[in-house]
Chain A
Amino acid sequence: MSSRRSRSRQSGASRITDDQIIDLVSKLQQLIPELRGRRPDKVSASKVLQETCNYIRSLHREVDGLSDRLSQLLASTDTDSDQAAIIRSLLM
């Protein structure tokens, strides 16, 4: 990537080395489901970082939606202690 070359000219100002970024990016790529199959040299660093941010945000949204459903469920049911014990044993 020629952007790497232009960044190294200013690396005196930034404390993060290019190698660190490359390392971070290649490892992050393995975590993101969307990018896992792709070859590392075909995905740019900024895309991996963008996808990581998007993935974390989508996980946050998913938990938000689940919390919403669950809080509604909890509000509409009146789980007594017996039922709660059963559910806990199921979870374990």
Chain B
Amino acid sequence: MKRWTTKREHQIYSSKLFQALCRSRRTSSSTSAKELHQTADRVLAITAKGTTRWSRAILAAPLTAGTNMKKHKKAKVTVHTRLRKPVVNREKRKLPVVERKLRALRRLVPGCRKLSCNNLLEETSDYIAALEMQVRALTAITEFLSRGLL
């Protein structure tokens, strides 16, 4: 997971992503934010070179054209979180707080719904590091493009 923090990896990812975006612009007249996000995720998964479960899951997932499906799922998870009681009756045997939150975490990291605790840790830390790099790369591309306009 250290690789996500190197400058080299950042350069590889941002130039691959930019290439992919230029290519998609040539084929379709406009790129929606959703398609862009999807492209960014797929290039991120490719950059991972198939070593992690989350990256394989992203590449295996079908390309969703509409926004409805994804947003619907996310809304469900958000509501569930808000309804959850903050204080737990420790006597309760059903669904202790920690296990519930573990499940929520599993849903957030792609392809990890049935993963064991140890592997989940590895996937989560790799996924978080990759997402942080994704943010840095997208910021860099945006800056360069806006500079190009001036």
Give A residues with C-beta under 8 Å from B.
2-3, 6-7, 10, 13-14, 16, 20-21, 23-24, 27-28, 31, 45-46, 49-50, 52-53, 55-57, 59-60, 62-64, 66-75, 77, 79, 83-84, 86-88, 90-92
Indicate whether A70 sits within 8 Å of B36 (C-beta atoms), given known contacts A10-B93, A57-B108, A91-B140: yes
- Chain A residues with Cβ below 8 Å from B134 are 59, 63
Contact B15 A6 (CB under 8 A): no
Chain B: interface residue total (CB-CB under 8 A):
56
Contact A62 B135 (CB under 8 A): yes
Kindly list the 5 A-B residue pairs having the minimum CB-CB distance in the complex, ordered from nearest.
Answer: A49-B101, A66-B138, A68-B33, A20-B117, A67-B37
* Closest B residue to A13 using CB positions: B93
* Closest B residue to A15 using CB positions: B116
Contact A88 B98 (CB under 8 A): no
Q: Which of A21, A91, A92 counts the most B-chain CB atoms under 10 A from its CB? A: A91
Contact A71 B131 (CB under 8 A): no
Give B residues with C-beta under 8 Å from A.
11, 14-15, 18-19, 21-22, 25, 30-37, 40, 81, 88, 90-91, 93, 96-99, 101-102, 104-105, 108-109, 116-118, 120-121, 124-125, 127-129, 131-132, 134-135, 138-142, 144-146, 148-149
Contact A92 B105 (CB under 8 A): no
- Chain B residues with Cβ below 8 Å from A23 are 117-118, 121
Contact A46 B97 (CB under 8 A): yes
Instruction: Identify 16 residue pairs between A and B in the complex whose beta-carbon atoms are under 8 Å apart, listed by A's number.
Output: A3-B96, A20-B117, A28-B124, A31-B128, A31-B129, A59-B128, A63-B138, A67-B138, A74-B31, A74-B36, A79-B22, A84-B22, A88-B15, A88-B18, A91-B15, A91-B140
Complex CA distance for A79 and B141, rounded to whole angstroms: 13
